[in-house]
Structure 1
């Protein structure tokens, strides 16, 4: 038996295994066990390809990713009016509870127009939807999270059914962007 050859193979195999593990640690998490894959009934409305798809959104920071998703055009308009695009795009490891266009449509037009014209109030409302930490599916079962606005959001639920503040349903959760986790919700949340 050639022991020299065997001795060379073992360190090479260990080095290859260590390299594979280190690259694996850098890969994004997305397994069924940790809830990293998008979930919920509203995920079917996300485009299957292109910049607004799950893969496309994962490549961009959150405000840019939202601008590519047709379900979030009203939110994007509000973020632009509040001057929060750079703030959101430059933040790290945040979570955005993102109201869909249908969520904004629940607000009477005159009231929505008034809020969109008041930058201070709009900023309060929008930053109430942002948490300065990653919040994934497993955290939604019974959670309480401080928002950038200073208030608190609570979450509850199980399986693929979760609510925020007992008023907003998570339509599509755990959507990854390059700097955030996004949960699309069906109601605009109002700070107390």
Structure 2
């Protein structure tokens, strides 16, 4: 006959039950502790997979394809244009001298702007150009006035209201860079003038000039004075009306 095993002692049975409960509790704690670590790992993996948005954007450009560039480069700061030689190299009227001189006085020191100076004096606008802060002056050259014909200039100088309107039409609000010059602007005369691009060779349409036969071009632009930026033009502009 097989011997029957003795029934477990009550104290031993209680110890076994406690051990089983402790084991299950330990397992639950281990799982609870592992969950945050697992979530952190998943988050990290997700973040790594997403990558930097800039990298993702860059990856959309096919290999060997150059990044797009601007269609036109900005004009370098400082005087530019085919006619900048009209300013004296040194002394009064030179670019260096007029940079710290008010606009009215600066223009009067440039021989190739002598007719404009005569007109400004006749219209009593010297002080206006000298004291008006932050403006842009479209300054007609001597050749621009000569293009009006031999009789036009004396008649214009004798008509003070007309002369004042013409001259103030050449003064724009603000110091304008070549890029900013392209567009429509309000003049000191209260009307507007529209300058066409490109920025490195601005022009004004023929119908906006006094002769009305040829477009006006910038001979030398972005010339700084103490209170203004000057663009020498080869046509006299006509005010509205």
TM-score range, shorter chain: 0.7 to 0.9
CA displacement 1:71-121 (0-9 Å, x = unmatched): 100000000000000011011000000000000000112121111011111
Report the TM-score when normalising by structure 2: 0.63
Aligned equivalents of 2:160, 2:138: Cα separation in 1: 19
Equivalent residue in structure 1 for 2:229, among 164, 181, 185: 181
Please give the secondary structure, in 2, of the residue aligned with 1:131. strand
Asked if 2 retains the 8 angstrom alpha-carbon contact of 1:35 and 1:138, the reply is no
CA pair 163-33 structure 1, distance change in 2 beyond 3 A: closer
Equivalent residue in structure 1 for 2:123, among 73, 77, 82: 82
Query: In the comparison of the two structures, how many residue pairs are matched?
Result: 160
Unaligned runs of 5+ in 2: 1-72, 207-214
Name the structure with the higher strand share: 1
Asked if 2 retains the 8 angstrom alpha-carbon contact of 1:153 and 1:165, the reply is no
Q: Which one scores higher on RCO, CA 8 angstroms, separation ≥ 6? A: 1
Report the CA distance between 1:159 and its aligned residue: 5.4
Asked if 2 retains the 8 angstrom alpha-carbon contact of 1:175 and 1:183, the reply is yes
Please give the secondary structure, in 1, of the residue aligned with 2:222. strand
Asked if 2 retains the 8 angstrom alpha-carbon contact of 1:96 and 1:180, the reply is yes
Unaligned runs of 5+ in 1: 1-31
4+ residue segments displaced more than 4 Å: none
- Mapped pair 1:92 → 2:140: no
